Amino acid sequence: MSQGTLYDKVWDRHKVTTLPNGQDQLFVGLHLIHEVTSPQAFGMLRERDIEVARPDLTLATVDHIVPTADQSRPYGDDAAENMMSELEENVRDAGIDFLDPTSGEQGIVHVVGPEQGLTQPGKTIVCGDSHTSTHGAFGALAFGIGTSQIRDVLATQTIAMEKQKVRKIQVDGELGEGVEAKDIILEIIRRLGTEGGVGYVYEYAGEAIEDLDMEGRMSICNMSIEGGARAGYVNPDETTFEWLEETDYFQENPEKFDELKPYWESISSDDDAEYDDVVRIDASELDPVVTWGTTPGQGIGIHDPIPAPEDLADDKVDTARRAQDHMRVEPGETMDGYDIDVAFLGSCTNARLPDLRRAARIVEGREVDDDVRAFVVPGSQRVQRQAEEEGLKDVFEAAGFDWRNAGCSMCLGMNEDQLEGDEACASSSNRNFVGRQGSKDGRTVLMNPRMVAAAAITGEVSDVRDLEEVAVQ
């Protein structure tokens, strides 16, 4: 086994050859596909009469277009129905497993991969979706890819890639009460910028990262891409192994667990590994972070003043001005007290069971503000089922939240869940771009799921630490 970072080791382990153009050809251990980015790639294969090389290493789900209310077929929206039927046909023809809504296992691609036990340390994982970086939480090398690369992977189960630099982001110290993984990553992107990671993969390390559960690590790795990094990962540890051992896959195949564990242990970065850059952050200094603008890098501690554009770096001045116009915020104000119309608890960043549990503890015994429409969209049917069994659905519904079926939903508004007009939304998702939630004038404020719960209750962006926690039975 080679020495160095996890990135080096997993790369070397999967390298087939160096191509004439200087790129490396890597073997792909898991190819995840969804309805939005795969149809064209399947079309390209069909045109050339090529079969899918490794359907056994490919897994499909439907997430972006799936309606979260009425899921009866045909879907009310023709475009959604067409994408769904096309995916059904493609996976049937190729013999690819499909977690469709009738399977009870459907969900957002970055939620279901880990749930199925298929996201594993030391694997190369790709998907035609930028947030594939999520899977790095398990110590996998996971990349979002484009259409021509999806084609290549379908046809050959390999991919041509250039090696990146590795930046270690060392997050020391302990998080304070009410502050969580989402705040760490929003802070990282605030400091390093949305382009700061270009040319890098991020290795997240340090006490605060080690203390996180797998879901927290997934929230962080998920947003690596928002910081410009090609991928993000956490070295696997006992937390990782324990989580994996509980999955159905390893429960049914315990011998596989024993067989793979030594490999998983061997691929962690060595203590003396060299990094191209190291950045340190002290987690104990963080407050909950919320965004004031229209990029995930325009974040701020809940009680900190919104910056004046002219105080920012030259290349950030114009975007900050435009963002402040769009969001209707003024420099010097804080985001605390910013009126919201919608609260969205969902997305592949923050709609896993522990996210919903924490948010439910804030919501229990309280009521959603009269002027707010609030809804919970679980990340997968499995999360939904478990949350229902635990009584979380009842807690949310009693407070006035709408409880929906699993999917991407209002994270990007590719289904009927969209902002209207200039509505402002407290969102647990990862992107606050203009128009992201379906309305060009819509305003998105990113925050952690407990903060979304607090905003739903108070009708404004609020410090969740001011709301007393109530224990869910």
Ligand X SMILES: CC(C)[C@H](C(=O)O)[C@@H](O)C(=O)O
Nearer to ligand SF4, 380 or 458 (CB): 380
Q: Minimum distance between the CB of residue 329 and ligand SF4, rounded to whole angstroms?
A: 24
**Is residue 437 a contact point for ligand SF4 (CB under 6 A)?**
no
Nearer to ligand X, 25 or 147 (CB): 147
Interface residue with ligand SF4, options 260, 290, 412, 419 (CB under 6 A): 412
The total number of residues written for the chain in this structure:
473
Binding mask 48-67 for ligand SF4 (x = CB under 6 A): ---------------xx---
The least CB distance from residue 408 to ligand X, in Å, is 6
Query: Which spans of this chain sit near ligand X (rule: CB under 6 A)?
Result: 36-37, 64, 129-131, 144, 412
The answer to the question of residue 132 lying near ligand SF4 (CB under 6 A) is no
Considering CB distances under 5 to 8 angstroms, the limit depending on partner class, which of ligand X, ligand SF4, none binds residue 63? Answer: ligand SF4
Phi, psi of 352 (to 5 degrees): -95, 170
Strands (E) in 196-355, as ranges, are 200-205, 231-234, 277-282, 289-291, 299-301, 342-345
Annotated ligand binding at 348? The verdict is: yes
DSSP 8-class letter at 272 = T
Which span (223-231, 291-299, 405-413, 437-445) binds ligand SF4, by CB under 6 A?
A: 405-413
> Does 429 participate in binding ligand SF4 (rule CB under 6 A)?
yes
Say how far apart CA 279 and CA 188 lie, in whole Å.
9
Q: Which does 37 bind (CB under 5 to 8 A by kind): ligand X, ligand SF4, none?
A: ligand X
Residue 40 bridge partners (DSSP): none
Binding ligand SF4 by CB under 6 A: which of 201, 348, 356, 360?
348
Are 70 and 97 in contact by the 8 Å Cβ rule? The answer is: no
d(CA 193, CA 96): 39
Name which of 248, 262, 293 is nearest 112 in CA terms: 248
Q: Shortest approach of ligand SF4 to residue 370 CB, angstroms? A: 28
Interface with ligand SF4 (CB under 6 A), residue total 13
CB 204 within 8 A of CB 221: yes
Q: How far is CA 35 from CA 43, 110, 384, in A?
A: 13, 14, 21
**What is the DSSP track for 342-407?**
EEEE-HHHH-SHHHHHHHHHHHTT----TT-EEEE--SBHHHHHHHHHTTHHHHHHHHTPEE--SS
Contact partner at residue 295 from ligand SF4, ligand X, none, CB < 5 to 8 Å by partner kind: none
Task: Give the residue from 97, 144, 133, 89 showing the smallest Cα distance to 116.
Answer: 97
List the interface residues with ligand SF4, window 93-112 (CB under 6 A): 108, 110
Q: Which residues pair with 403 in a beta bridge?
A: 376
Choose the contact partner of 36 out of ligand X, ligand SF4, none; CB within 5 to 8 A by kind. ligand X
Is 411 a known ligand-binding residue?
A: yes
Among ligand SF4, ligand X, none, residue 229 binds (CB under 5-8 Å by kind): none
Q: Is 425 annotated as a binding residue?
A: no
Annotated binding-site residue numbers: 348, 408, 411
Annotated binding-site residue numbers for [4Fe-4S] cluster: 348, 408, 411
